[in-house]
Amino acid sequence: SGLITIDPGFKNTGSTKSAITFLNGEEGILRYRGYSIEELAEKSSFLEVSYLLIYGELPTKAQLEHFQNEITTHTLVHEDIKKILDGFPSNAHPMGVLSSLVCSLTAFYPESLDPNRSSKEVDLSIIRILSKMPTFAAWAFKNQIGHPVNYPDNELDYQSNFLKMMFALPAEKYKVNPVVAKALNTLLILHADHEQNCSTSTVRVVGSSQASLYASISAGINALWGPLHGGANQAVLEMLEQIEKAGGDTAKFIAKAKDKNDPFRLMGFGHRVYKNFDPRAKIIKKAADDVLGQLGVDDPLLTIAKELEQIALKDEYFVEKKLYPNVDFYSGIIYRAMGIPTEMFTVMFALGRLPGWIAQWKEMRENNEPIGRPRQVYTGENLRSYVDLNKR
Ligand code: CMC
């Protein structure tokens, strides 16, 4: 064990070589397959970015059409999955429902368990999960509010279909707001991949045992759920509401975040890798202003967020520790303006991160990476003799 280096949180440990996402935390650079996040967020669509991440190149027009058609064909889920959904209590957190429904796909498509499937068969699993996640996500929400579920509308594009499944009421002629659909497209692209983060590493480690794509993604969803990772977007909004309820005294909460005896952290601030700024946060801050303006929403939480950011960026504690707003500092404010409830925020993150998880799982399997199995340094007792129960 003398040769083993312990690196809690893998702060300085690289787990793999990867050709998917380039990230430079010092300079705030993020690129998918060589394309800058700024350019993709402005010009691309979420499904095009998904194709890029998974297959390595931007699709031709014909390839994109084929990919979109395939995805549309598989949006419907087996009716028995609705029975699983019905078994959840209506107060179930939608992240737990989502990971369970995704894992249930292993039962409906048991062929996905075979690690020796052809790449064509793997492609079908990829199409299936991309198609069905929005259905699961919207159903998890409908379950929570006690409404009947909406079935997919295959006339609509990926984002619009999701919005309709989320918000259409029975017998209502639902019209998708193009401002909301466009904002959703941007948010999904910004979350689509982020190299070896906690949930992606989880997907790779689970997949490295040759577990199925569905089982690996389900594990990734659970890793994303925690408040230090994807759950931060929900935590940010709850924090902003807490500050608003307490009279909007931002300075008081900044002081709490700096106090080492107080467990309170400024949610949406800080990042393991970005030490100057998070390029996604820059795009999202502007999107928040645009979307709220276009929707005519005047949200006091946006004012509180901006005030917090201004104070923190000038505060010695945050400057010294290089803590900046991350992608999720403003995302929740946009989701809220879109009518998406707080407990669904991390589900939205999962929808966005899905192509990244798929691409990383596929890369790991294609490179025949060995099973993920870290070592440890043992710190427990030396050999001891068993003591009979009546002598303890
Ligand atoms: N508020 C107050 N202090 C903080 C914060 C914060 N948000 N983030 C880090 N610190 C302090 C921390 O207490 C530590 O101080 P010290 O060196 O005195 O012990 C120092 O800064 C370094 O923090 P760390 O926790 O050792 O750094 P890490 O790289 O392990 O953690 C992080 C990164 C993102 C988990 C952390 O910054 C954090 O908890 N932020 C709030 C949660 C959050 O917004 N998470 C979303 C991340 S972006 C979306 C995603 O990828 O999921």
The tokens for 104 are: 């249930």
Residue-level pLDDT at 3: 84
Distance CA 340, CA 190 (A): 18
Establish whether residue 191 lines the binding site of ligand 1, counting it when its CB lies within 6 angstroms of any ligand atom: no
At 114, give phi and psi (nearest 5°): -80, 115
Domain membership flag for residue 109: yes
Neighbouring CB atoms inside 10 A of 153's CB total 16
Are 84 and 113 found together in one domain? yes
Could you tell me the residue range of the domain that residue 252 belongs to? 232-337
Burial 181-212 (b: 16+ CB within 10 A, else e): bebbbbbbbbbbbbbbbbbbbbbbbbbbeebb
- Cβ contacts of 202-207, under 8 Å, gap ≥ 24: 203/357, 203/360, 203/361, 204/15, 204/16, 204/360, 204/361, 204/364, 204/369, 204/372, 205/372, 207/361, 207/364, 207/365
Establish whether residue 228 lines the binding site of ligand 1, counting it when its CB lies within 6 angstroms of any ligand atom: yes
Q: Specify whether 271 is catalytic.
A: yes
Spatial neighbors of 121 by CB under 8 A, at least 6 apart, are 111
Are 127 and 46 found together in one domain? yes
Are 319 and 358 found together in one domain? no
pTM (predicted TM-score): 0.94
Residue-level pLDDT at 180: 93
Phi-psi region of 298 (alpha: psi -120 to 50; beta: other; left: phi over 0): beta
How far away, in angstroms, is 267 Cα from ligand 1 center? Answer: 8
* Mean pLDDT, the chain cut into blocks of 10 residues (392 residues total): 85 96 96 98 98 98 98 96 96 96 97 95 97 98 94 95 94 89 96 98 98 98 96 93 94 94 94 92 91 92 92 94 92 92 96 98 97 95 98 96
Q: Indicate the helix (H) or strand (E) that contains 355.
A: helix 345-366
The tokens for 44 are: 């691309």
Distance CA 199, CA 224 (A): 5
CATH code: domain of residue 291:
1.10.230.10
Give the per-residue SS3 of 76-92.
Answer: CCCHHHHHHHHCCCCCC
Are 158 and 296 found together in one domain? no
Are 174 and 309 found together in one domain? no
Residue-level pLDDT at 376: 93
* ipTM score assigned to the predicted complex: 0.95
Residue-level pLDDT at 171: 77
Establish whether residue 257 lines the binding site of ligand 1, counting it when its CB lies within 6 angstroms of any ligand atom: yes
CATH code: domain of residue 21:
1.10.580.10
Q: What angle do CA 27, 322, 22 make, to 5 degrees?
A: 30
Pairing of strands 29-32, 21-24: antiparallel
Are 207 and 282 found together in one domain? no
Distance CA 142, CA 145 (A): 5
Distance CA 207, CA 220 (A): 10
How far away, in angstroms, is 311 Cα from ligand 1 center? Answer: 17
The tokens for 183 are: 């904002």
Q: What is the DSSP letter of 57?
A: S
How far away, in angstroms, is 165 Cα from ligand 1 center? Answer: 35
Domain membership flag for residue 171: yes
Are 139 and 251 found together in one domain? no
